Amino acid sequence: MKIGIVMVLGCVVLAARAMAVDKETFRCEDRSTAAIAKFAKLRAKCLVKCQQTKLKEGAGSTRVCSGLDVGFPDATTAECLAKTDDKLGKLVGRACPAGTLPACGSYELYAPNDAAGWASEQATTQGALLSNTTVPTFVCTVAADPDPKATLACEVKTVATLGKLAKSIAQCLSGCYAALQLDGDTSRQCTPDAVSEFALVDTTTATCLTEGIDKAKAMITAACPTLPLCGSVYFSGVDAVVGLVVSNYAGNFSTPATNPYCAP
C-alpha cells in the first residue's frame, strides 16, 4: 500500500500501532506455529523410519506404518509417535503460559485458553494428516519396485525436503505477522487465499515464500532424477509434490478458525 501524503501516512501508522497485539499473545501464536512445524518434522521421521524398516524386513515384517492400515501403529512406531505428542505439548506450554492464548479463533483452536488442550487437538489433527495422507502418499515404495533402495532414498529425501519447506513457509509468515501484529505495519498482507494461495500476500512475503518453494523443487529434482511410480501425487510432477504443502498451508491460514495468527 503506497500513501503519497506524509500526514496521511502518519495517521495510518498511529492507527496501526493502536491495534497491535501485546508481545505475549504474539509469542504464543508465533511459537505455537513453529512448534507445529517441528512436531510434523519429528512425526514424519517416525513414520519414514517405520517404512524403511518394513521394506528391509520384507514380507514377514510386523511394522505398520500407515494410518490407513489395520493395526497402526505398531508398538515401536507408537512409542516414537507418543514422544512427538509429548514434545509438542511441552513446546506449546512454554510458548503459551496460562492466560496468554489469544482470545480469538474457534473453540478448537485456542479456547478455553488451555495450552495443553490446544496442543492435544493439534497433535490429533496434524498427526492424522501425516499418518493417513502425507507419508503414505510420498513413501510408497514396495518390494517389487525395480530399484526399491533408490526409490526409497528419493522418497525419504522428498519427505525431508517438504518438512524443510513447511518450516520455511512458517518463517516467512512469522516475519510478516510480526510486522503486522507487533509493529502495526498495515502494508503487510500475510493471510493467503484458499483459491489463489499466496498470490495476494505482500511483495516481501511473496519473495520469501517463492525462494523457499523454488529451493524445495530443486532439492527434490536433484534427489529424484525419476519420480517414483507410486502414490497419488508423484505422477503429476515436482510442482504437484511441493504444491501439496503449499496448498495445505494456504488452506489453514486462509481460514480464521485454523489460522494460529488470529489476533487482530
Going residue by residue through the chain, which has 264 residues, state the pLDDT in tens, using 9 for 90 and above. 233 322 233 323 333 343 567 888 888 889 988 998 899 999 999 999 999 999 889 889 999 999 999 999 999 999 999 999 999 999 988 888 876 777 765 545 666 667 888 888 889 988 998 999 888 899 988 777 788 888 999 999 999 999 999 999 999 999 999 999 999 999 999 998 878 899 999 999 999 999 999 999 999 999 999 999 888 899 999 999 999 999 988 888 888 777 888 766
Q: What per-residue confidence (pLDDT) applies to 111?
A: 62
Question: H helices within 74-202, ranges in order?
Answer: 75-95, 115-129, 135-138, 148-177
Instruction: Please report how many Cα atoms fall inside a 13 Å half-sphere around the Cα of residue 32, on the Cβ side.
Output: 30
Q: What per-residue confidence (pLDDT) applies to 175?
A: 96
Q: What per-residue confidence (pLDDT) applies to 113?
A: 65
At 62, list the grid cell.
Answer: 510386523
Question: Helix, strand, or coil here: 197?
Answer: strand
For residues 66 and 74, give the distance between their C-alpha atoms in angstroms, rounded to a whole number: 10
For residues 264 and 262, give the distance between their C-alpha atoms in angstroms, rounded to a whole number: 6
Beta carbons of 25 and 102 less than 8 angstroms apart: yes
> Residue 53 burial by CB count (10 A; 0-12/13-18/19+): exposed, middle or buried?
middle
